[in-house]
Amino acid sequence: MSFTPIQPLGRAEAAEAVLDAKRNKNLTWEDIAAEVGRSKVWTTAALLGQHPLSEDQARAAGKLLGLDQVVVDALRLPPVRGEAVVDPSEPIVARLEEIVQVYGGTISELIREEFGDGIMSAIDFRMDFERVHAEEGDRVVITLDGKYLPYREF
């Protein structure tokens, strides 16, 4: 090709590079999140390509992980959020899908009763992830926290 590619890396390739660097430097997502100045969940999602990083956030992550500049630049590209980025048949995701399947109607019912005709936002949204110790085996506790948005009459 006769033209010079200016931005050779996409978000997927940048995520690969981040995972390799994290493995080699033996860092945790907590470590990276501390550097980026955001929560562990947001930081992981962002570095995996689901959120754009600001210039400062990308630079901080790049410095800690020792990323090349092209990777740092790629972290600031628009995210790729479609369904291709997750496999609904992967066992962990499959169980999240099953939970939506079993409790989706229940959540609709309870939002309708408690709030009215509207939804839980997936945009004005935050998620928390915690390990909770329990005698009969530790538990994964995930909190979904989204703003209630009422349908507007017009």
Q: State which residue, 63 or 95, has the beta carbon closest to a second copy.
A: 95
Establish if 1 lies at the interface with a second copy (CB under 8 A). yes
Size of the site for a second copy (CB under 8 A): 102
Contacts of 121 (CB under 8 A, 6+ apart): 146, 147, 148, 149
Q: Mark residues 55-94: x for contact with a second copy by CB under 8 A, - for none.
A: ------------xx-xx------xx-xxxxxxxxxxxxxx
Between CA 38 and CA 31 the distance in angstroms is 11
Q: State which residue, 63 or 147, has the beta carbon closest to a second copy.
A: 147
Tell which positions 7-66 bind a second copy, by CB under 8 A.
Answer: 7-9, 17, 20-21, 23-24, 28-29, 38-42, 44-45, 48, 50-52
Q: Return the active site residues.
A: 95, 98, 121
- Identify the sign of the CA torsion 94, 125, 81, 67: negative
Cβ-based neighbour number of residue 134 at 10 Å: 8
- Identify the sign of the CA torsion 128, 88, 24, 69: negative
Please report how close the Cβ of residue 10 comes to a second copy at its closest, in angstroms.
Answer: 9
Q: State which residue, 63 or 112, has the beta carbon closest to a second copy.
A: 112
User: With contact defined as beta carbons under 8 Å apart, do 48 and 74 qualify?
Assistant: no
